[in-house]
């Protein structure tokens, strides 16, 4: 087409002037065609990349259900990539190569197609897109930092989360004497300090898996007089419901939480040799309320086994931005999910924390460890009697792009 146009110009009998003008326009024409061609290639590459991303995610989503073969993830990734490319307007054949990681943890898709140029003078070109998606379902997610403050370990603090993953949507900063031990440690930002095995920076963001949960109390305490219940040397069984009182548990007193949902609309403080215990319970705190487990307070709690809060142990309303403090070295059992989406969990003690829990999961705006605590995140999900909420632990099967 382009050569024929030049021939017609050369044969024109209007003279050399016409020829000179026409030929002088050729560089401008070629430049314009080149710009259009680059734009067209870029658009096609963007469509192919989106198709490869979709295929990798779909394939990774099949990893947790594949039974002794990788044909499921491979076939799914191939089909989804080709269908997505066709739907986006790519008319040329799309070739797909799928690679499944040896440990079934990730799927890599390499997609290629032939780009047809705008004018045949430029020739065809092969464009390629690569995508890699991981399925976190093969590593239970047990610590998720959701906000902008990150995970911070100071002094000699440790997180021991063998058997599960620690993820931060911000940075993970660890003092030289501190350490994070987990099957996988990753951060959207950077990781500084000792991590075993080595961590991964630049991870994809993980959204709050419980963002749609209704955390509002059935009624509030507005207009009711403030009461402080001070327990000293007493045993108080507490029925589930909405608690407007502030609880101060001191000097060998025991607070027994009976099974059910406990909405605390005021603070709960435990000091000295106080005991807080309960099984099949969830503690839900209002907007400005918090806990403080201090001194030698003994805490043994197990999460709800049924109902809308099944698997949850400690929860806050979404407007709660307080700091929940564990400053006692006798907080032995925190079986269940701590979900404080806009609040901070501050562990500042020495010794083990939560070591007697079959499993624990933390989803918090920020996580800070000070002094010398050893925060133990066990992963004995099977046989614990407490179900793990969907979206965390072994129930997180949502794939995410890694490349």
**109, 136, 163: which is the final residue of a domain?**
136
pLDDT bucket at 65, cuts 50 / 70 / 90:
very low
Of the candidates 119, 136, 153, which is a domain's last residue? 136
φ/ψ (deg, to 5) at 190: -115, 160
Cα–Cα distance between 19 and 337 in angstroms, integer?
80
Give me the pLDDT at residue 181, please: 97
Does residue 97 sit in the same domain as residue 244?
no
Q: Which is more confidently placed, 135 or 23?
A: 135
**Domains identified in the chain, total number:** 2
Instruction: Single out the residue in 86, 109, 136 at which a domain terminates.
Output: 136
Q: What is the pTM (predicted TM-score) of this model?
A: 0.72
Mind listing the pLDDT tens digit for each residue in 144-155? 999 888 999 999
Q: Looking at the structure, tell me whether residues 149 and 177 fall in a common domain.
A: yes
Residue 1 pLDDT: 47
Question: In angstroms, rounded to a whole number, what is the distance separating the alpha carbons of residues 392 and 136?
Answer: 10
Is residue 202 domain-shared with residue 313, that is, in the same domain?
yes
- Shared-domain flag, residues 252 and 314: yes
CB atoms within 10 A of CB 67: 5
Query: Is 361 in the same domain as 333?
Result: yes
Domain that holds residue 167: 141-401
pLDDT digits 0-9 by tens, 206-237: 889 999 999 988 887 877 766 788 888 899 99
> Taking residues 85-112, what's their average pLDDT?
89
Long-range pairs of 190-194 with CB within 8 A, sequence gap ≥ 24: 193/153
The 10s digit of each residue's pLDDT in 341-384 is 999 999 999 889 999 999 999 999 999 999 899 999 999 999 99
What residues contact 229, with CB distance under 8 A and at least 6 apart? Answer: 236, 245, 246, 247, 248
pLDDT for position 148: 87
């Amino acid at each position: 087409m382009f050569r024929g146009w030049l021939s017609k110009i050369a044969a024109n009998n209007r003279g050399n002037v016409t020829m000179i003008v026409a030929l002088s326009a050729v560089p401008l024409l070629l430049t314009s065609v080149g710009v259009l061609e680059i734009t067209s290639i870029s658009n096609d590459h963007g469509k192919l990349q989106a198709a490869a991303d979709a295929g990798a995610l779909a394939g990774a989503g099949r990893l947790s259900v594949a039974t002794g073969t990788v044909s499921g993830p491979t076939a799914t990734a191939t089909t989804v990539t080709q269908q997505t490319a066709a739907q986006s307007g790519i008319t040329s054949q799309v070739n797909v190569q799928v690679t499944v990681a040896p440990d079934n943890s990730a799927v890599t898709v390499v997609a290629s197609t032939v780009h047809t140029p705008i004018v045949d003078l430029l020739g065809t070109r092969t464009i390629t897109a690569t995508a890699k998606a991981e399925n976190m379902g093969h590593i239970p997610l047990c610590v998720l930092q959701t906000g902008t403050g990150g995970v911070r370990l100071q002094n000699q603090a440790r997180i021991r989360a063998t058997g599960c993953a620690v993820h931060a949507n911000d940075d993970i900063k660890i003092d030289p004497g501190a350490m994070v031990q987990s099957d996988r440690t990753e951060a959207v930002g950077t990781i500084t300090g000792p991590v075993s095995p080595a961590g991964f920076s630049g991870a994809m963001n993980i959204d709050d898996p419980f963002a749609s949960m209704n955390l509002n109390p059935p009624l509030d305490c507005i207009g009711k007089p403030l009461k402080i219940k001070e327990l000293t040397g007493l045993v108080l069984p507490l029925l589930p419901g909405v608690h407007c009182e502030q609880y101060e548990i001191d000097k060998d007193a025991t607070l027994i939480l009976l099974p059910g949902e406990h909405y605390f609309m005021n603070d709960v403080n435990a000091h000295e040799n106080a005991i807080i215990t309960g099984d099949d319970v969830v503690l839900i705190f209002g907007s400005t309320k918090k806990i403080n487990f201090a001194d030698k307070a003994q805490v043994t709690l197990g999460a709800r086994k049924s109902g809308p809060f099944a698997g949850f142990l400690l929860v806050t309303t979404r407007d709660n931005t307080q700091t929940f403090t564990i400053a006692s070295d006798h907080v032995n059992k925190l079986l269940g999910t701590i979900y404080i989406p806009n609040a901070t969990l501050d562990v500042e003690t020495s010794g083990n924390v939560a070591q007697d829990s079959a499993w624990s999961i933390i989803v918090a705006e920020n996580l800070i460890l000070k002094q010398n605590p050893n925060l133990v995140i066990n992963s004995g999900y099977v046989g614990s009697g407490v179900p793990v909420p969907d979206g965390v632990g072994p129930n997180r099967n949502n794939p995410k792009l890694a490349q």
